[in-house]
Chains A and B, each alone.
Chain A
């Protein structure tokens, strides 16, 4: 229960699209009418059984949900403390949690009569998921990707092209996720009448943060019944842990547990080379302060003059100077705790998971895993940690090889 004992932590956002101070609709006038229409259509779809019937059918037969909740015995034994469970969202079609949300938005776009879909992508997972669903429904798909990310995520770029999407490398700024989002917004302003912007994380103007959270909440909802099935009726996790760039896989895992006070909630930001004055990290909550970017108010990495700083992370999917507004609020009200993990720690967790569990994790959930490695040994053996294995690591093997000093021929 929330601080006054009456309100729920799950009731946000308010009618202004705010989670406390955070969120809102900070967009240009050209986009405002569409944002309002989207909100109206989403509010309607939310309570429309036919919408959810379509989602459930595709989740089951196209994505492969429910994803398993896997008890990791060797990792648990190695860490010597709490039992570690992994929510295996890397087993979804396209290899990450991103498709949970993409399906919802594309079904909505189709209902709104939009024929052209645009998306931004960092690691390429959201781009691949969007290209996939667009191919399935025969929709035109354009993906904006920072030029730097195009280079470090080449396999995903090729996947998107195979799926029929146009991938536009973005060279403005430093060519990462933030810059890709700027160019996607510019495209949207230009093509607002026929185009739907499929945002990949719990950020952007209202209603995106709430809508993406709702679609991703399938993760936490499944964890609830799956854990009860394996550990006994009513058994909740003691800790839930997830990595955060924008924060969509984390919101999806956390949201269904917000009103269970016994569940400790831990978000893991990308600490890059370390959260200090050099600002070579992406830890918006630990190293940033509130500001307005990409349609919402949230914690941002910025200089004293309000100019946005480029983040830094080994993981392209976490390389974003902001964080979803609901996380900013959960941080400020103290319902969730947020920590950071460095590149080096994530790389170590990546390798440990490969060897102990036979699972090659993406670099993004490797950050969550690194936090589990710190946390599990400090907890008694009857405690349960659930971490979100939100993506598989095939896309990252070249990056990891380079960091480990291994030469690979493609």
Chain B
């Protein structure tokens, strides 16, 4: 059982939906990024997705691309992302942290070394966008063995024939990408998302969390009501990129989490 499993078990017992939020590690700088991260649980965030910056984020829209560039220009590295997690864990032992990003920085470090460092730092799960089930031997299987959840994306193009393959080695939760597109793109409609979530839930007992295209408390509520929770990323990252003070960023997060939790 990881912190992710514990959190979803607790939410389920409480009859509550999960609110997941994404920030880019080191954006706009290390200190501010850590301060925001430390404020997320009090702002109602149940699971933190922490972005690992990468030069070539092929699944991300302009907002998160720019966040990654800001972080890299500020000297962010994998070591510093891990240090951020360790610093966060000094004050918070319960909020799950999912590291999200692309495979090359992990491959470059060496999968075994990365998994050891990630587990020791207090990371609970991984979302690696460019590792489909066809490449499970690379990281997914080793990560499960190291006690980390490997959270898979399911998308509108994942048909019934393919769904079992996508779910096979997934753990923690299933991240349903509500649109065919990149992060920060057009809003998803709850009326489209609901049947898709139901379709996935017929094949798994894992929680299904919906992300991409959610930017307002109203959307968070609407989407969370047809799933086990929702993810907001770009809307928060946009504020951070605009230099909005930490307290105001966290106030927006609180409004979004209230939306999701009222579902």
Is there a chain A Cβ closer than 8 Å to B36's Cβ? no
| Stretch of B103-111, B116-124, B230-238 lying at the A interface | B103-111
Which A residues are CB-close (under 8 A) to B107? 290-292, 297, 306
B62, B106, B132, B156: which contacts A28 (Cβ < 8 A)?
Answer: B132
| Stretch of B5-13, B41-49, B176-184, B188-196 lying at the A interface | B176-184
Residue of B nearest to A302 (CB): B108
B181 touches A190 (CB 8 A): yes
Produce 1/0 per residue, A292-329, CB < 8 A to B: 11110100101011111000000000000000000000
B134 touches A190 (CB 8 A): no
B152 touches A29 (CB 8 A): yes
A26 touches B131 (CB 8 A): yes
Is there a chain A Cβ closer than 8 Å to B92's Cβ? no
B65 touches A16 (CB 8 A): no
Question: How many angstroms between the C-alpha atoms of A271 and B118 in the bound complex?
Answer: 37
Produce 1/0 per residue, B2-21, CB < 8 A to A: 00000000000000000000
Is there a chain B Cβ closer than 8 Å to A32's Cβ? yes
B78 touches A306 (CB 8 A): yes
Question: How many angstroms between the C-alpha atoms of A326 and B77 in the bound complex?
Answer: 31
Main secondary structure of the interface of A (DSSP, over half): mixed
Is there a chain B Cβ closer than 8 Å to A155's Cβ? no
> How many residues of A are in contact with the other chain, CB < 8 A?
37
Selected A-B contacts with CB under 8 Å, 30 pairs: A26-B130, A27-B130, A28-B58, A28-B153, A29-B132, A29-B152, A29-B177, A30-B59, A30-B177, A32-B133, A34-B157, A172-B62, A185-B58, A186-B58, A186-B60, A189-B58, A190-B182, A190-B185, A193-B157, A292-B102, A292-B103, A292-B107, A293-B104, A294-B56, A294-B58, A302-B104, A304-B108, A306-B54, A306-B104, A306-B105
Nearest CB of chain A from residue B179's CB, rounded to whole Å: 8
A26 touches B135 (CB 8 A): yes
Residue of B nearest to A33 (CB): B157
Residue of B nearest to A304 (CB): B108
Residue of B nearest to A183 (CB): B58
Produce 1/0 per residue, A155-189, CB < 8 A to B: 00000000000000000110000100010011001
A26 touches B103 (CB 8 A): yes
Is there a chain A Cβ closer than 8 Å to B166's Cβ? yes
Which B residues are CB-close (under 8 A) to A87? none
B135 touches A25 (CB 8 A): yes
Is there a chain A Cβ closer than 8 Å to B55's Cβ? yes
Contacting residues of chain B (138-163) with chain A, CB-CB under 8 angstroms: 152-159, 162
Known: A34-B157, A292-B104, A307-B105. A186 touches B182 (CB 8 A): yes
- Most chain-B Cβ atoms within 10 A of its Cβ — which of A30, A178, A191? A30
Contacting residues of chain A (14-52) with chain B, CB-CB under 8 angstroms: 16, 24-34
Is there a chain A Cβ closer than 8 Å to B206's Cβ? no
Which A residues are CB-close (under 8 A) to B57? 182
Residue of A nearest to B61 (CB): A186
Which B residues are CB-close (under 8 A) to A307? 53-55, 72, 105
Which B residues are CB-close (under 8 A) to A305? 77-78, 105, 108-109
Is there a chain A Cβ closer than 8 Å to B263's Cβ? no
B109 touches A189 (CB 8 A): no
Nearest CB of chain A from residue B151's CB, rounded to whole Å: 12
Question: How many angstroms between the C-alpha atoms of A182 and B62 in the bound complex?
Answer: 12
Is there a chain A Cβ closer than 8 Å to B129's Cβ? yes
Nearest CB of chain B from residue A168's CB, rounded to whole Å: 13
Known: A33-B158, A306-B107. A189 touches B182 (CB 8 A): yes
Which B residues are CB-close (under 8 A) to A308? 55-56, 104
- Most chain-B Cβ atoms within 10 A of its Cβ — which of A173, A300, A305? A305
Residue of A nearest to B106 (CB): A306
Shortest beta-carbon contacts, A-B, top 9:
A306-B108, A306-B105, A190-B181, A30-B155, A308-B55, A26-B130, A185-B58, A306-B104, A32-B132
Question: How many angstroms between the C-alpha atoms of A396 and B182 in the bound complex?
Answer: 35
A33 touches B159 (CB 8 A): yes
Which A residues are CB-close (under 8 A) to B56? 173, 178, 182, 293-294, 308
